[in-house]
Every structure is written in structure tokens, then in C-alpha cells.
Structure 1
């Protein structure tokens, strides 16, 4: 091969290398303040500067109160000099090769990941269709439409109406237990729970300290008798902590304590549309983030050698060593742009 041919071949290889861009893990970063010729410069330095147009924009981005600091020529000069000196310090740091300092690289990586998240999750917001909103509302309607609910704790003594002797014995015991309950602090639900656990004869709720959970009045009437539902309705005016008298049902005797109350809820789709959109948007952003990470791992050939990893011993007894460099980065969770509220 002639010297001319060899030179042309090397030149083509170099050009091809430039077109491919930097190798993986390397990047070309432009640290100049501006990337185009500066028109009407108010300050200039080697191959860079601050234009009057940029200065005007920066000042207009300040609050009116802050702008009052830069009314005179000297005040504006001080501000421009501060901008320029910062950029000159950046140039000096690059000249000294500090852009490859581990601390700078770690900070840059964190900034890059943060910027990637904004680009992937916030700037490319996936649309949420009306059909998706309606489907979510329909599948979670219990969150938006529900009747009035009360939460009771009860102490139950089994005493069928047909067994008069047993019913009388249970009534005497129930009155005694009611007197003990009335002696407790009104909102000491734990104390009433201990009383129910010790004496209640209802096997489903006795282990739960008599807690009936939240139920509608209709559910209370169906599960425990209309008398319990009616007694619960009467407790609402006095609020949580109030006690019923001894309530007779076909199955036996109840002593009831009101521990909670939820008003009826009837939210239409349009009332909660924004909340649903926020929730579905967050779910889509989370999926998009997971898909991005999975794709990056797949394309990079990422793998973990479990056998080697298992042999890395973690000794919790050794003292902590001085840091050898900045800690490695970790993947931030994709948070919603706005909080998702529940009704």
C-alpha cells in the first residue's frame, strides 16, 4: 500500500470513529456558557460571553423585589461579573481535568439520572383515556360510593329468647358488665376491648376484643339483628366512646360501644376524575420506568454471577473504613408529579 493510500485509509478510519461518537461510558460535554456567537455582549471572555438579551431575560426571571437590587450600572456590573467569574472557574476546573474527578463524576451521574427521569416520566406523560378513567371508577366504586358506616365493639352473652332461665342469668351479668364499662374512661377503647375479650361469647369477634369493624346499619341489622342496628343509630348523636344499654336480640344480649363513624359517600365520576387521572398516570409512569430499566439491562447484557456474589463475605464486626470515593448511585423511585389523594 502506498503512503498516500495508507494516509487516506487512516483518515477514513478516524472519520468513522468520530461518526460513531464516544465509547460507552465516555461523553463529550460542552461546558461553554453559550454555544453560539454572542450578539451585543455585555461581557466577553475567550470564546464565550454574556449577551444583553440573556442578561435581560435573567433579570426578568427574578422577582420584582430582587430586581430592585440591580438598578444602577455598578449593581448590574457586579451581577454580570459574578456570572462571568463562575464560568471562568468552570473553564479552569476543566483545564485541570477535574471533570473526571470521582466526586464530580458521581454528581454528574446523579444529575443525568434525574434528568433522564424527567424526560422519561414527566415530559413524555402517557395520556389517560376517558375509557380508562371510567373503567377504574367502575372497578373501585366502593371507594367513592358507600352508605353511612359505623364501627362498634360489642360484648355479647348468648341467651336465646326461648330459654328464660338462661336469659335472666345473662341479663344480670350483662347489667353488671355494662356498669363496669360505664366506669371506664369513655374513649378508652382498649379497656372496653379487654372487657369484651374476657367475657364476650361471640366466637368471631371475641378474639378481636369485640371489634365489629366498619359496617353499614343495614349490614349490622342483617348480621346481628335489627335491634343492634337501631341501637347503633342512637349512639351516633353522642359520638365515639358512647355506650348502649343492654340490647336484646333473638340470639342474646349485647353491650355496644361506638368506636367510629363514616358519613355516607356518593362521589360521581366527574368529582374524582382528576384523582383517577393522577393515579393512572402514576401507574403508567411506573410501568414506563420499569420497562426502561428492563430494556437497558437486556441490551447491555447485564447479568449477576450468583456463585461469586455468594462468596463475598459481609463482616458486620469490623470497624467502618474511611470512604475510598463517593458512594455509588442508586435508582430513585418514580414519584408522581402531584400527590394522589384518596376521597
Structure 2
């Protein structure tokens, strides 16, 4: 094929591509190092170059300590040659058709999705209004304004205070349970829970290994008696794992273990405005990501044939085969880092 005919064919292909655009899954990628003309070349090769302006910018983007490596002509030559040789290797890979290698395609797809995610979630940050922040604070005020709370586990033995004989028998058993609890490692909450499951006579908490969950001292007094609340207050100074003596209430006897403590909190809206704004902004970006995925599925006419899919057998008995290629891409989580912390 003559060079003029080859040029005409390439021109027609380019014109066709401009008119119709690439087919789905196909793209034209410009791998040239310098995509814009202009500048003063410090190194050139066929169809590409490194300019003095680019080199100056690259050096200014380095830390001052790193720039010390490139003070002499030879040091700068070494850096420029490194840039050029990398680009020459890219050109050679393209000449060998490696841009269509499965590993290259898989890496490129992941890079494209990652860049799309940054564009969708980070560069287009949806605004959060003061009204939205105030509404969130109002609906979650218990997270920011709450009294001191304790978490207890208990072994309860029913013995009404007026029944002296029953109280005496229950106390003897409670003292025995307390002795067993003291013999346990201080923070072996599971072991104390087994004592509660075995001996406790409180039907609501016995199946939960005696766990009372977090309660304020006021609620604790209302639910189990002021004696339990006072005992809990005393345990706080010793910290989680501390055991009470046998505590008597109108309903019976308790052996208590402190398993958690939360100090009182009184955070105003202004104290947590920035935190709430960040949380709502993250929620909006996550929603925007989900909406983008739904839009792309609708636009592409995405469907799943459930009947055919159900016939795909998953054999758990066969050995693992060697991979036939890179694993398929999967949708990354919008925010892989931990969610915003509670106050």
C-alpha cells in the first residue's frame, strides 16, 4: 500500500470516527507526552518532546531537598533522559499492540473508574445548607446531648424485702456468686455473662448474659431501684470490670459488674456543625454515586436474565483453576475510609 493511499485511508477513518464517534467500549487515547504545541524543547524525539517550561514546573513541584539532586547539567540531563526513555518505552509497547493486553485493559479500566469516582464525588461536592445541618442536629440530638450513662451486667436473685427467710437464702447464694465472680479475670465479661445466664432470675436480661445495656443513672434507678444506681455510681471510679458487693433492692439481690461508662455530653449545634456538614456531604455524594450507576444502567438498557443466571451451577467440590486472565472489575465503595466518628 502506498504512503499516500495509507494516509487517505487513515483520514477517512478519522473522519468517520468524528461523525459517528467510537463504538461502545472503544476509545481513542492520546499517549503523547506533550499534547500541546509550543514551549522550548530541551529533549526531542519523533513526534514528542520535553520542554524547558515543563521541566521547570516539574522541578518546582519537588521538595527543596529533592531539587538538590538536579543542580548540575549532568544531573538535569539524567532526569530528562529518564522522562524520555519512559515515553519511548510507552511508544514501543503501543507499537507491539500491548494496549490491548488483558492486564493493561484491566488496569486502565480500574484507573478510569477511579478517576470517574473522584470527579463525581470529590470535584462535584454538593452543598449542605444550614437548614439541613440544623434538621440533622434536631433529629439526632440524643447523640450530642445526653446524661452520664453506665452499662452493667448483673446476676439477680428474686427475694422481696419483706420476706426475710427468702432474702437470707438469696443472700447466701448471691455471696457465693460474688465469690465466683471475683475469681474471674477482672475484664472477662463473657465469663461473668455465663454466671448470669446460669444463676440470674431476671427474665429480661438473663438470656442476654445479664446485660442491662447503657442507661442513665436516673433510668437505672427507675428500672431497678436507687440502690443499683448508687452502686453503679461507685463502680465508675474503678472502671470497667469492677464488681459491686451484694446490692439489695425491694425486688431482690443484685451482683453487678460495670462493663462500660459514657460521660455526660452537652454539645451545641455550633460545636458539631462542621462534623454534621461533613457527614451530610458524604451522604449526598454517596447518593449521587448511586444515582449515577442507576442512570448508566438505564441508559445502557442493562438487564439480568434471572432464568439463565439461575442455571449457572456453582460447584463447591472442584479444585480452584489457574486464572485465565485478570479478575473482572468491581465497583469500588464510594468511601472506603471509616465513617465520621460520633462525638
TM-score over 0.5 for the pair: yes
1:147 is aligned to 147
**CA distance in 2 between partners of 1:204 and 1:16 (Å):** 75
2:7 is aligned to none
2:272 is aligned to 272
Question: Which is further off, 87-96 or 332-341?
Answer: 332-341
CA contact (8 A) 1:282 1:336 kept: no
CA contact (8 A) 1:43 1:49 kept: yes
- Whether 2:63 is the aligned partner of 1:70: answer no
Distance 1:50 1:270, change over 3 A: same
1:133 is aligned to 133
> Residue 226 of structure 1: CA displacement?
1.0
1:56 is aligned to 56
2:251 is aligned to 251
Query: What is the aligned-residue RMSD (CA, Å)?
Result: 2.3
2:5 is aligned to none
TM-score, normalisation: structure 1: 0.89
**CA distance in 1 between partners of 2:318 and 2:178 (Å):** 61
TM-score, normalisation: structure 2: 0.89
2:3 is aligned to none
Unaligned runs of 5+ in 2: 1-10
- Whether 2:233 is the aligned partner of 1:236: answer no
Deviations 1:273-296 (A, max 9, x none): 222222212211111111111111
Matched residue of 1:132: which SS?
A: helix
Deviations 1:94-149 (A, max 9, x none): 23322222222222111111111111111111111111111111111121111111
1:195 is aligned to 195
Deviations 1:242-278 (A, max 9, x none): 2222222211222222222111112222222222222
- Whether 2:162 is the aligned partner of 1:162: answer yes
> Residue 338 of structure 1: CA displacement?
8.2
> Residue 12 of structure 1: CA displacement?
11
CA contact (8 A) 1:38 1:49 kept: no
Distance 1:315 1:198, change over 3 A: closer
CA contact (8 A) 1:38 1:48 kept: no
How many pairs were matched up? 333
1:46 is aligned to 46
> Residue 225 of structure 1: CA displacement?
0.9
